[in-house]
Each structure stands twice: as structure tokens, then as C-alpha cells.
Structure 1
Amino acid sequence: MTSSPLQPAAWRMALWGAAVVLLLLPWVAMQFTTEVSWDLGDFVVFGAMLAIAGGALEGIVRLTPHRRARLWAAAAVALVFLLIWAELAVGIFG
């Protein structure tokens, strides 16, 4: 079984810490520009997306012993996340 280069607690902290930072970025941007204008609903949807993607990544790491399979699965989660985000932001499919 191939292990992660980080200890379990370290990669979990990195994953969820990155999710918190991503969630805070629009709020910080709103303090400096009027170009970013999110309301509570936007933060809730983005937070839910981050929670689902983070949970999927955690599940992948816990259930998949092979590094290459983890990378492909994580790339798939990232791609789906970005496609949903782009659709919600600008409607690329409709």
C-alpha cells in the first residue's frame, strides 16, 4: 500500500485549510473592490461545493491505496468542481 507523503493529520489540515482560504478569498476581495459582489447565498453554495469536493478527496485518499489512482480521481473531482463553478458563474453550458 502506497502511503501519502504527508501524515494523515497533515494532509487533512492542508485540505480543509485550503478550503477555508478559498472560501475567504471572495470576502477579502469584496473589501478592496466592487467587482466582487457576493451575497450570503453565494458563500453558502461555494461552501457546500468545497465541502462536497473536500469530502470526496478525503474519501479518495482513504479508500484508494494507489497513488496514480488517487491522482486521477482527484483530477476528476477538481474538473467537476471547476465545471460546476464555471456554470454557476457564467453559464457555459446553457
Structure 2
Amino acid sequence: MKNQATLNTGTQRVKIILVVIATILTIPLIAMQFTPEVKWDLADFVAAGALLLSAGLAIELVFRTITSNNLRAVLFLVILLVLFLLWAEMAVGIFGSPLAGS
């Protein structure tokens, strides 16, 4: 019975991750309706969605497989740091790599 409860909780967490990603992606979609300064095309939405989905699923994987709370916290921070650095690089090119959007 415990495995079924864990599976349901894991499935619920994945659903929450997907809802959060969709909510985050609606912010630029709505902003595009009100200002010409936000100009996202389909490729931007796909890239942002892939980046957010990979980070969310990586966090879910860490949550499911790692039992030590200290190690979980460190891995969560590393995943979030990588997410934010990649997002910033893709947005404004802080490192000047080929991923830079500017």
C-alpha cells in the first residue's frame, strides 16, 4: 500500500510541475498581448519549456532517488543554479556562448 501512495504522490508532483511550467510560460504569452517589447516566437516557447521541463524532472528525479535531505538540498540548488545560468545565457548572453540570444 505504501508503494501505491508513493506512486500517486510522485504522479501528483509531476502534474504540479507541468502546471507550474504552463503557468510560467503564460506570463510572456500574456505580456505579448499588451506590449511590443516582448517578442517571443514558437522557438522561444519551446526552448523555455524544454529548459523548465528538464529542470523540473531533474528535481523530481532527485526527490525520488536521494534519501539524504542534505544531499537533496545541495542537488536542488545545483539544478536551480544551472537553470538560472542557462536561462540568463539564452536571454542576454552573460557568457558570450553560442547559446546567447543577443
Same-fold status (TM-score > 0.5)? yes
Output the aligned Cα RMSD: 1.4
Give, in angstroms, the shift of residue 77 of structure 1: 0.6
Q: What is the TM-score of this pair, normalised by structure 1?
A: 0.83
Output the amino acid matched with 1:35.
E
What is aligned with 1:47?
A: 49
Whole-Å separation in 2 of the counterparts to 1:68 and 1:25: 33
Give, in angstroms, the shift of residue 9 of structure 1: 4.5
Give aligned-pair identity as a percent.
Answer: 41
Q: What is the TM-score of this pair, normalised by structure 2?
A: 0.77
Q: Is 2:86 the counterpart of 1:84?
A: yes
Aligned match for 1:33, one of 17, 32, 35: 35
Q: Which structure has more RCO (C-alpha within 8 Å, separation ≥ 6)?
A: 1
SS of equivalent residue, structure 1 residue 20:
helix
Provide Cα deviations, 1:10-65, integer angstroms capped at 9, x if missing partner: 43333222111111111011111111110010001111101111110110100011
Aligned match for 1:59, one of 55, 58, 61: 61
Higher mean alpha-carbon deviation, 17-26 vs 81-90, is at: 17-26
* Higher-Rg member (1/2): 2
Q: Is 2:24 the counterpart of 1:22?
A: yes
What is aligned with 1:4?
A: none
Whole-Å separation in 2 of the counterparts to 1:9 and 1:52: 16
Structure 2's unaligned 5+ residue stretches are: 1-8, 97-102
SS of equivalent residue, structure 1 residue 42:
helix
